[in-house]
Structure 1
Amino acid sequence: MFPFSVLVGKAVRRISRLRGGGSALPGLVVEKIDPGFMGRALTGLPHGVVVISGTNGKTTTTKMVVELLQGQGLTVFTNRTGSNFTRGVAAALLGDVNWRGRLKADIAVLELDEAHAVHFVKLVPPTHCLLLNVLRDQLDRFGEIDQTTRLLERIAAKTTGTVVLNREDPRVAGIASTVPAANIAYFGLDSSLRSTFPNDDELRGDIGVPPPSSLPADVILEHVDGNSASFLVDGELTSVDLRLRGVYNIFNAAAALATARAVLGDAVNRPALFASLATVEPAFGRGESLVVDGTPLELVLVKNPSGFRLGLKSFDATGYATMIAINDNYADGRDMSWLWDVDFDSLGLAGVDMVSGVRAYDMALRLKYDDVDVRAVETDTTAALKAFISATHGQPKRIFCTYTAMLAVRRDLSKITTVEVVS
C-alpha cells in the first residue's frame, strides 16, 4: 500500500501548498491511511534519528544541531517548518521521500512537542534524544509540570543510544535515573551563569530548590558577553562570536554542541563544529531581525514566564519601539495567567508603543500594574502592525509575540519586506 499512500500524500501536499494551506495537513492524511509510513521512511538511516524536546528552545536548538551536523558532511532530514507534531514530521517527509517512500539522508533531527514525541518514539525509537528543560508552559494542554517530566522520561526510555540532558534543570537531570548511566551526556553552565538561567522552581521562588548540579557535563557554557560565548569542551575553552541573539539561544548552543558530539563521537571535527555554530542564523521568529523602512525590526517569540523574562533580559528596550502581541489560541496555550509571573520593569522607561492580539487588553492591564506606559491597544494584529510601523517611522523596532501572533505578524510583514520562507 505504501507507494499509493506516498503518492496520495504528495498530491495533498502539492494542492495544499498551491492553496496556501497548513503545512501539517498532508502529514495528517498520510498518517490516517498509512500509520507505518514514518517508521519505514526513518528506519535504517546510517546515523539514526535524533529527537529534540522540552518546553523552551526546541526550534532554535534543532536548527543548530542540523547545521552542526551538516557542517560535518552529513545529509540531514529535519522538520524545518517548526510543526512539531507527528503529522508535521510526516508532512516534511512527504517533501523529501521518493515515490517509494525512501528518504535519502544520513540522519534525521526532529523537533517534537513533548506529548507528540511520546507517540513518535513508539513508532520510531530514536538513537539519540536531547531533552532541554521543563517549565510551566501551556499547562491547560499537558497538566502539571511533573506530567511533562514523565513525558520526557518516556522519550528517554525509548532512546537506543545517547540521552543528552540539561544538568541545570533538576527535573531533566533526574531523568538520568530512568536510563542506563552509560547512555547519558550532560550540557551545563558555569556557576557564574546560574542566576541568569533559573530553573522553574527558582523562577517561582520555591523553597527548597536543589543546589546547583555538580554532574560532569560534556559541554559547559563558561562565559557570555553580548553575542560572544565561551564553551568548555574536553577541558579546552573555545570562544565563538554568534549570529544568534539572546542569552537563552546561547545556552541552547551548548545543548546543540553536546548533541552533535554524541552523534559523531570520535569522528567529530572540532574546529568545523565551532565554525558551523558561528554561522547559525536565528530560527524564524526567535530573535529574527528584518528590515522595515530602512530600520531593523526584531521578532521575539514568547510563550511562558521564563521565555519572556529571558527575552526582556536579552534585548535592551533603550532606543527601540516596542510592540507586544498576545494570542490565546491552542498553539499558544489558552491560559494566559502566566503573564503575571513576568517582570516588565525593564520596559518602564521606554514604554510600549502597541499592544495587540486576542488578549491585548489582558497584556495592557498587566503592563499598567508595572507602571509601563502603553500608547495604543488594537486587538487586530494586521491593523496594529500597520499603525505601529507608521507611528514609529525611523526607529528600530521589536515585537514580542506568542506563537500564532508571530505567524500573523510574519505574514503581514512578508507583504512589505523580505521574510524567510520556510518550506
Structure 2
Amino acid sequence: MSELPLRAQLAAVVGKGAASLSRATGRGDGSVIGGKVALKVEPDLLAQLSRGRRIALVSATNGKTTTTRLIASALQELGPVATNEHGANMPTGHITALANQPDAREAVLEVDEKYLPRVLEATNAAVVVLMNLSRDQMDRASEINLLAKKWRDALGRTQAHVVANADDPLVAWAGLGANYATWVSAGQRWKEDSWCCPECGGHLKRDPDPHWECPECGMRRPDATWSVDNENDSVVDPGEQRWPLRMSLPGDANRANAAIAMATAAAYGIPAAQSLPRLQEIRSVAGRYTSVVTDGVEVRLLLAKNPAGWLESFSVLDPPRVPVILSVNAQIPDGKDTSWLWDVDYSVLRGRRVFVMGERRTDLALRLETDEVPFEVADRVSDVVAKVKAESPDITKLDVIANYTAFQQIRADYGRVE
C-alpha cells in the first residue's frame, strides 16, 4: 500500500472505511460500496492497485464465481491471493478485493462479461479464463455475439494467456483472438445459443460431440490439451495422465470448472498433483450447493440464473421422490425480463413434487402448467418443509433452485450460509 501514490492510498483507506461501515450496519458485505467510494477519490485506482501483481480474470455467463474460488484456492500454493470471493464482479468489487490484500502478489478476479474488456485494459491481466457464453439478462446486456466480439478484440490488444473452453464456439472464437491460449474440452450442455458460426454466420456442424466446425468458412473447434471425462469423473492433462476428480461440488458443470481451474493453475506452474487436492476441499461457494438441516429435513440450495444454469441444476437434482422448490424474482440484479423461462424445458420435473415461490411465481407457474408439470404455491421454504414433513415423514431431503435475488433471500433466512 505504501508504494501507491498518496491519493490512491487515501482512496483505498476511505473505501475500506465505507465497506466496514456497510458491514457494521448490516447493509451488505461492503464489496461494492467500498469500491464506489474509493473511485470517487481516485478514478484510476483499479489500474494503480493492479500494478506489480499477476492477475487472472475469470469470466463466463455461468460458473465464474465457483471457478474463481477454485483457481484462487489452487494459487494459494504460491502465497496469498487477493480475490472477490463474494462475487462483486464489477470494477468496484475488484478495487475492494485488491485493496483488502495489498501485499498479495497473486490475484484472481471474477469479472462480469460486459466489463471484461475494460477490466482487462485496466489491470493488464496475465491470464484470462473464459468458460461459456449464453443469453442472460438481455434487458441490460448486449447480444452475446457482440459480447464475444468485444472479448476477441480486447484480447488481441494484450499479451494475456487465455485459458478457454474449446467446446463453446463463441468462447473459442473470442479466445482465438489472443496471442496465446490453452484449450480445455470442458463440455457444453446448453447449445441453443451457438448453432451459428460466430465468424461468418453459417450453420455449425456438431458431429460427433464435442467437435464442431463451420462448413462455410472452415472455422473449427481448437484442439484441446486438457479434457473432462464425465463418465469416469476425471480430468486428462496434456501428458494424457488421468486425474480422478472426486469433487465435493456436484455435477458435470463443476467437473468442467475444476478442469479449467487445473489448466489455469498449470499455466502458473502448479502441477495437477498440487492443485487438485485444494479443489477437492471446497464444498460450497457463497452458499451455492450448501445443505442446511431444518426441522429434520436437509435443504440444499442451488443457484440458476438463466436457461443454461437451470439445465445444469436439473442435472444434479436428487432422485424424483425428493421435492424441489423453484423460486424466481425479477429485480435489477436478476434482469427484469423473465421471458427466458420459456427457453427452459421443465418437463424433466414431471413426476416430482414441485413448489413455486418468489416475486414472479405466477410467471413460473404458467410455464410449468404449459409443460404439464403439477405444482404447489408457497411463500417460504420453512412452510414447504413443514408441509412435506407432515404429509410425508419419510422425506428427509429438499432441493431449492432459485435465481439470484431469490437465492440471496433464501440464503439470508438461514443466516447467509456458506
TM-score range, shorter chain: 0.7 to 0.9
- The residue aligned with 1:398 is 399
Letter in 2 for 1:251: A
- Is 2:11–2:39's contact at 8 Å kept on the other side of the alignment? no
- Structure 1 residues 20 and 140, CA gap change in structure 2 (3 angstroms): same
- Matching of residue 52 in structure 1 with residue 58 in structure 2: yes
After superposition, the C-alpha distances for 1:384-406 in whole angstroms (9 at most, x for unaligned) are: 22312221235311110001111
1:123 aligns with 2:118: no
Displacement of 1:199 after TM fit? 6.1
- Structure 1 residue 344 and structure 2 residue 346: aligned? yes
CA positional deviation for 1:52: 0.5
Q: For each residue in 1:72-117, what CA deviation from the matched residue of structure 2 results, as whole angstroms up to 9, or x when unmatched?
A: 2332110011111111112233433xxxxxx111311000101222
1:344 counterpart letter in structure 2: Y
- Residue 236 of structure 1 corresponds to 241
| Amino acid of the structure 2 residue aligned with 1:135 | S
**What does the per-residue CA deviation read over 1:140-160, in whole Å, with 9 as the maximum and x for residues that have no partner?**
111212122123224423542
Structure 1 counterpart of 2:375, one-letter code: V
TM-superposition CA deviations, 1:110-139 (whole Å, max 9, x none): 001012222222321111101111101111
Please give the secondary structure, in 1, of the residue aligned with 2:265. Answer: helix
Alignment correspondent of 2:392: none
1:184 aligned to which of 181, 184, 187: 181
Aligned pair 1:80/2:80, yes or no? Answer: no
Contact 2:83 2:108 in 1 (8 A): yes
SS in 2 for 1:147: helix
C-alpha contact (below 8 Å) 2:321/2:353 kept by paired residues = no
For the aligned residues, what is the CA RMSD?
2.2
Maintained 8 Å contact 2:167/2:185: yes
Among candidates 27, 35, 48, match of residue 40 of structure 1: 48
State the 1:377 CA deviation.
4.1
With normalisation by structure 2, the TM-score equals 0.87
Say whether residues 1:356 and 2:357 are aligned partners: yes
TM-score with structure 1 length normalisation? 0.86
1:95 paired residue number: 100
CA 1:410 to 1:155, structure 2 compared with 1: closer, same or farther past 3 Å?
farther
What's the secondary structure of 2:333's corresponding residue? helix
CA distance in 2, matches of 1:152, 1:80: 23
Aligned to 1:305: 307
1:62–1:309 distance in 2 versus 1, CA, 3 Å: same
Give the direction of change, closer, same or farther, for the CA distance of 1:361–1:199 in structure 2 (3 Å limit).
Answer: closer
Q: In the alignment, which residue of structure 1 is the partner of 2:194?
A: 201
Paired amino acid for 1:263: Y
Q: Deviation digits for residues 284-308 of structure 1, max 9, x if unmatched?
A: 2432222223332111111111110
Selected match of 1:389 from 379, 385, 392: 385
Q: Which piece of structure 1 moves more, 13-22 or 315-324?
A: 315-324
Partner in structure 1 of residue 410 of structure 2: 409
Partner of 1:146: 145
CA distance in structure 2 between the aligned counterparts of 1:158 and 1:411, rounded to whole angstroms: 42
Residues 318 and 350, structure 1, Cα contact 8 Å, conserved in 2: yes
- Return the match for 1:269 from 253, 268, 271: 271
Question: Which residue does the alignment assign to 2:417?
Answer: 419
Paired amino acid for 2:42: D
Question: Is 1:251 the equivalent of 2:256?
Answer: yes
SS in 2 for 1:66: helix
Q: Secondary structure at the match of 1:179?
A: coil
Please say if 1:170 is aligned against 2:177. no
Q: Distance in 1 between matches of 2:134 and 2:66?
A: 17
> 1:291 aligned to 274, 290, 293, which one?
293
1:412 maps to amino acid: D
C-alpha distance in 2 between matches for 1:317 and 1:137: 28
**One-letter amino acid of the structure 2 residue matched with residue 200 of structure 1:** D
* Alpha carbons 1:169, 1:199 under 8 Å: kept: no
Say how many residue pairs are matched.
389
| 1:161 equivalenced with 2:160 (yes/no) | yes
Cα separation, 1, equivalents of 2:98 and 2:111: 14
User: Retained in 1: the 8 A contact 2:330–2:338?
Assistant: yes
Alignment correspondent of 1:25: 33
Tell me, in whole angstroms, the C-alpha distance in 1 between the residues paired with 2:234 and 2:366.
37
Q: Secondary structure at the match of 1:329?
A: coil
Q: What are the ranges of 5 or more consecutive residues in structure 1 without an aligned counterpart?
A: 97-102, 379-383
Which amino acid counterpart does residue 41 of structure 1 have in structure 2?
Answer: L
Is the 1:246–1:315 Cα contact (8 Å) retained in structure 2? no
Letter in 1 for 2:171: V
Q: Secondary structure at the match of 2:129?
A: strand
Letter in 1 for 2:272: R
Query: Distance in 2 between the 1:286 and 1:231 partners?
Result: 26
- Offset of residue 223 of structure 1: 3.0
Q: Tell me, what secondary structure is at the counterpart of 1:68?
A: helix
Match of 2:133 in 1: 134
The verdict on how the C-alpha distance between 1:333 and 1:154 changes in structure 2, with shifts beyond 3 A counting, is farther
Q: Contact 2:15 / 2:34 at 8 angstroms: preserved in 1?
A: yes
Amino acid in structure 2 at the alignment position of 1:271: A
Change (3 A) 1:286 1:154: farther
Q: For 1:306-356, what per-residue CA distance to the aligned partner results, in whole angstroms no more than 9, with x for missing partners? A: 11012102223423221111011121122211111111122110131x211
CA contact (8 A) 1:125 1:158 kept: no
In 2, the alpha carbon distance for the partners of 1:161 and 1:239 equals 30
Give 1:36 shift: 2.2
**Structure 2 segments unaligned to the other structure (5+ residues):** 1-6, 213-220, 390-394
